[in-house]
Every structure is written in structure tokens, then in C-alpha cells.
Amino acid sequence: MLTFVPGAVVWPDHFALLDPVHRLARVARLIRDFHDAVQGFVPPADACWRVFIPADGADIIAHHDLAPWNLVVNGDQEWVFIDWDGAGPGTRLWDVAYALHGFVPLSAHPTWQRDDAAMRLRIFADAYGLDEAQRQCLAPLLSQRTRAMHDFLRQQAIDGVQPWARLWHEGHGDAWRSDAEYIEQYEQLWFGALMS
């Protein structure tokens, strides 16, 4: 169903809206509600998907771009995700790992790097309702999912596919690589936060 929701896209100018942890938790619950809603959906055998980066499985129909640049917030009223053109087979954890990168955020960039990243990671995981097994799998997936975005942009730049090639040349590939390295460097911190 196509509809219009008034509001502001969170990234980058309104990211402070997600500073309060109860709002970060709201994002996690919104994602969980979406994942639960699609859990039993069986797509037609001839369905065509525009999934740009192959996921780690196909348990659900995932969004594949759950990030603050795709979240429209209308105060404390309606919060909705947009940009569903890349939805397709994937897994809960593939979507969650990508969402954590953007919503915590897990960033190497000094402007976005946070001292409370591990705590925010835990709040998100708790609000989503990840079980222990999912948490154990998630820690290494955080860097894998982030690096997959870098590798995708690099390949699209090599192939000259737009708009990805432009994004690569604007430095987005470097940002994703730096974020993946940052996440890998602190993987034990993220694991500890998830499991504590």
C-alpha cells in the first residue's frame, strides 16, 4: 500500500531525535514488528527481486536498507521506513546488523562515533528481542554486513553502474571500509555488550 506520511528523514540533520534511548528502542521494535509481519510470507515462485547485496540466508523478506536515511519521523506520532525497492529475501540478522551500523551508529567517523555505542547496541538488541544464539551470531555479522556494502560500491564503480559509481567516487566506499575496520577492531566490545 502506497501512502504519504509527513515528517523528516532522520539522517543526517535530525539524528539527535534518536539520542534518547527510548527512541532508539522504538526503532528496534519497529524493525521487529516488520520482521514478525513478514515471517510467514511465501512469495510467488517467479518473484523478481532487486536485492543488491546477497544476504546470509532467506528466512524472511528483508528491507536491506534499514537506516536513518530511510526513516521518516513525525514527532512522536508516526515513524515509517521508506525506500522499499531493495526489499527481498534475507534474514533478520542481516537486516539488524545493517540497522545497528546506522542507528547506533557504529561509525569510524569522528562526527558520528559515540562513547556510548556499546550501550546503544545492547539497548537495540534488547528492544528487538534477540535471543542468546542470535546475539552470538550478530557480533561477527556487524563487520561482514558493513564490509559487504563497501565491496558492493567498489564493484559498481568498476562496472560504471550509477548511482553507485558516483557514491564510490564521492568517498562513500572509504567511509564503509573505515566503518567495517572500526567495527572489526572493537568486535569483542560489541560481543560483550550483546551478551552481558
CA-based nearest residue to 47, from 27, 37, 67, 61: 61
**Could you tell me how many helices (H) and strands (E) the chain has, helices first?**
7, 5
Place of cell 568517498: 171
Is 3 part of any domain?
Answer: no
For 108-154, list the strands marked E by DSSP.
Answer: none
The CATH number assigned to the domain holding 147 equals: 3.90.1200.10
Q: What is the pLDDT of residue 158?
A: 97
CA-based nearest residue to 81, from 95, 91, 94, 60: 95
Domain range holding 127? 8-42+50-195
Is 1 part of any domain?
Answer: no
The list of the chain residues with pLDDT below 50 reads none
Place of cell 559509481: 165
Split into its structural domains, the chain has a count of 1
Whole-angstrom Cα distance, residue 107 to residue 30?
22
Q: What is the pLDDT of residue 17?
A: 93
* pLDDT tens-digit series, residues 59-70: 999 999 999 999
Q: What is the pLDDT of residue 103?
A: 98
